[in-house]
Amino acid sequence: MTAPEPQTRPTVKMKPKSNARAIRHGFPWVYANELVTDRRTKKLAPGTLAVLVDENQAPLGLVSVNPESKIIARMLDRDVEAQIDTDWFRARLSRALELRELMYDAPFYRLVHAESDGLPGVIIDRFGAACVVQPNAAWADAHLDALTEALGDVTGCDVILKNASGRTRGLEGLDDVNLTLRGDAPTAPVPVVMNGATYMADLTGGQKTGLFYDQRDNHAFAAKLVSDGDKVLDVFSHVGGFGLAMLAGGAGHATCVDGSAAALDLAGQGAEASRFGDRFTARQGDAFDVLTALGSEGAQFDVVICDPPAFAPSKQAVEAGLRAYERVAKLAAPLVKPGGYLGLCSCSHAADLSKFRNASARGIGKGGRRSTILHTGYAGADHPQLPQLAESGYLKAVFFRLD
């Protein structure tokens, strides 16, 4: 789709008494109930570039419009005449790359964290010479060719993949078709070394982009909690995130639990590649069922980590999600040896830290244990937070010591 020239772009207007001040102060979204949605606006194709003005016709910036989404407009540039072309993408990507190269020694990280890196709705994870792009907003889908060209120019990556999975694309009215945008998709998992362990990332068939970089710093903290010979349990482990890191930290044995046989197979491959294979066990099954069974078996571990999927993906799901987090804590707490550690994680932006921490503490108490909070962790520096957008700081990891 070719973007209109600046002078021909449509104008969209915020309603009287809407929160235009928040937009001026950096909030990147306009919700559908804040915009004047006349017939002309409703007919705009998803991803159309438009000039956003306040109720007094004062320009606020260049936005992308999607009448099919609750987030009807996303701020792209404060310059209403900006051209969203390959050069524009190069500038944004170069700035994002500069930060990652400052923070990381090897090219394995989240390169673009959506709004926080000035590319609303766009996620890009880098795996050496390959990048996986999640264009989770209509405008990004419409400008995918320019984004791909700029991404190859800036990073030098010869493989670029489009991952179209996930709830967000559905909310934008977008397809779920994965594509190879440049080069040849890898036919084998890509090894990624982090915190002394090797993880196997399936870039074409795995969850999301293939690996969750956001927990890297929390993996490192968990590894500090183990001593030689310790037994650890990693629940909702995906490809072995916390388990492999704790093995690298000196744990004697790690049991990884996940519902996905494919993910656990990758975890096992990672354990072998890290030379931890003889200290690794996979247990497939529903996490709640496995936690219940381990309790019945009288199993005990020095460190237990639970990193579930988003139980509260929206405001409407918060109460049910908090009950689920509480139940995880209740089932996990009895599995921790006296004086051991329990790490509980949430990637639900709608359940803020206070609510999640309180639900976890209630669950630990209902599990018959007393606790103190040792540490609270967040996503790493490759997942920067936009101060005005709480959703960009979604990850919480709270580590408890249990008496």
Report pLDDT for 7.
Answer: 62
The reply to whether 1 falls in a domain is no
Residues 171, 203: one domain?
no
Residues 203, 352: one domain?
yes
- pLDDT, tens digit, for every residue of 341-350? 999 999 999 9
Last residue of a domain, one of 35, 57, 77: 77
CATH number at residue 15: 2.30.130.10
CATH number at residue 231: 3.40.50.150
Q: Can you list the residues of the chain whose pLDDT is less than 70?
A: 1-7
The reply to whether 24 falls in a domain is yes
* Catalytic machinery residues: 347
The answer to whether 346 touches 356, Cβ cutoff 8 Å, is yes
Per the structure, the count of domains in the chain is 3
Q: Does the CA dihedral 179-270-294-374 come out positive or negative?
A: negative
- pLDDT, tens digit, for every residue of 2-45? 555 556 899 999 999 888 999 999 999 999 999 999 999 999 99
Which structural domain range is residue 13 located in?
Answer: 6-77
Q: Of 70, 153, 66, 77, nearest to 115 (Cα)?
A: 77
Report pLDDT for 184.
Answer: 97
User: What gap in Å lies between CA 369 and CA 350, rounded to an integer?
Assistant: 27
User: What gap in Å lies between CA 132 and CA 205, rounded to an integer?
Assistant: 12
Residues 261, 380: one domain?
yes
CA angle 225, 229, 235 (to 5 degrees): 60
Last residue of a domain, one of 77, 107, 129: 77
Q: Kindly state the helix (H) or strand (E) to which residue 248 belongs, with its residue range.
A: helix 241-248
Residues 324, 353: one domain?
yes
Residues 217, 295: one domain?
yes
Report pLDDT for 1.
Answer: 46
CATH number at residue 105: 3.30.750.80
The answer to whether 82 touches 62, Cβ cutoff 8 Å, is yes
Report pLDDT for 6.
Answer: 59
Residues 27, 92: one domain?
no
The reply to whether 187 falls in a domain is no
Residues 43, 110: one domain?
no
Which strands make up the sheet holding 396-402, listed edge to edge? 280-284, 253-258, 231-235, 301-306, 336-346, 396-402, 371-377
